[in-house]
Structure 1
Amino acid sequence: MSDELLPILAADQLFKENAEPVLSIGTEGFFIMLNHTRRGPEFIDSTYPAAWRDEYDGNSYHLKDPAFLWALAKNGNKRWSEVRIPDLAGVFKKARRHGLIFGAMFSRGYPTRKSVLSVARDDRELTDDELVRLATWFDQFIDACNAKQMFSPKELEVLQCLANDMTIDQAAESIGISSSAAKVRLKAARDRSGRKTNSWAVAAALRAKLID
């Protein structure tokens, strides 16, 4: 995954261009949900069999699926076979009928903003190395998607000028706006990123590779 390119892409395009680890390890499909809040997810996609998705959604299995319930309650990485929540509805057994025999779940965030990745295979359990590879990929994907939301394009214009050792007045002149407008953008950048000073906002944008 190329860190230099990630922040400028929308989540769906970012996933499409960097999904190789998910596709190669999750040979029977995947489910991914990014930054789910009460307003819904920022991005959601699945390649699990259509018949299984219809059955899953139609029967509200998300309320009964031990792996998904674990992911909502916890953060981490876990093979389906390692989930200790009782499968009272037999969701795992029903999934096996669709070729989803082995799998793993990756969960990040907190209850009001959750990101989840699930992958499946029909031949064997995921190896420890595969779990680590997907966990690393998922962390990078989430970080990249969140980084692009840290600042707006107009805020980045001003931050880039400050990173180039310009004063606020010089930045405003370079961009073609008033100094007061530049200050408004900088305040918005500080507020959006939770940074107290312009220098810290510039540093955050540099670390996220949003400016150079």
Structure 2
Amino acid sequence: MPSQEKISELIEKLHAAWPAGFAVGLHVTFTAPRYMFQSYEKSWLDTYTRLGLVLLDPVVRWGFSNTGTIRWSDLADQDDAGVLKRAAEHGLNYGAVTAIARNGTRSMGGFARSDREPTDAELATLSEDLTSLHDLTRDVEHLAPSVHETLKQMSIYLTHG
């Protein structure tokens, strides 16, 4: 299966598994990802952006400082600015962050559910899926221009519906 199809399949799988939304940054350099996929509701994205919460978000801080996977509930004591509480006001009640650093780059994502804490099995699958996305998009210079365009369109679609 071509990488473009595998990437699309993984994004759709994440979308189904994390119904309250997610934000994935692939191959983050300094603070900017090469690819960004977001599926959170627009009201949360607008609030998050308007209030500049990325700088205060314990999910983002953990993703930049660690590798592995952790539930949002385990980050509550690091949420001095109340970002997770605000997220819950938008239906993002439970979630996880996973981060990997491989081959000189870092990828990370925050994933949310409204109904329950993620299971250990879901966290393991999440880590595998992010690793696959990271690996499939690693050698950007070897991806066909059509794949770049598809990734860009997928990002726009997920973020803006």
Higher relative contact order (Cα pairs below 8 Å, separated by 6+ residues): 2
**Distance across 2 between alignment mates of 1:107 and 1:49:** 22
Match of 1:180 in 2: none
Q: Give yes or no for contact 1:21–1:134 (8 Å, CA) kept in 2.
A: no
| Match for residue 5 of structure 1 among 2, 5, 27 | 2
Corresponding residue of 2:75: 83
What is aligned with 1:131?
A: 123
- Residue 43 of structure 1 corresponds to 35
How many aligned residue pairs are there? 143
Structure 2: gaps spanning 5 or more residues: 145-161
Check if 1:142 corresponds to 2:116: no
* Unpaired stretches in structure 1, ≥5 consecutive residues: 154-212
* Higher-strand-fraction structure: 2
Work out whether residues 34 and 44 of structure 1, in 8 Å CA contact, stay in contact via their aligned partners in 2. Answer: yes
The Cα RMSD (Å) is 2.3
Aligned to 1:67: 59
Identity %: 29
TM-score (norm 2): 0.78
TM-score by length of 1: 0.61
Give how far 1:21 is off: 2.6
| Runs of 4+ in structure 1 over 3 Å off | 148-153
| Matching residue within 44, 67, 88 for 1:96 | 88
Match of 1:20 in 2: 12
- Which whole-Å deviations, capped at 9, do the CAs of 1:83-113 have from their partners, x for residues lacking one? 2652111111111110000000011128x84
Q: Any idea what SS the aligned residue of 1:19 has?
A: helix
8 Å contact 1:108–1:114 — kept in the other structure?
yes
CA deviation profile, 1:154-178 (whole Å, cap 9, x unmatched): xxxxxxxxxxxxxxxxxxxxxxxxx
Question: Does the 8 Å contact 2:59/2:72 carry over to 1?
Answer: yes
Aligned pair partner of 1:122 in 109, 114, 120: 114
Provide the secondary structure at the position in 2 that maps to 1:99.
coil
Question: Is this contact kept in 2: 1:106–1:117, CA < 8 A?
Answer: yes
The whole-number CA distance in structure 2 between the counterparts of 1:14 and 1:152 is: 13
Q: How far 1:59 moved relative to its partner?
A: 1.5
**Greater C-alpha radius of gyration:** 1
Letter paired with 2:68: G
Contact 1:80/1:105 (CA < 8 Å) preserved in 2?
Answer: yes
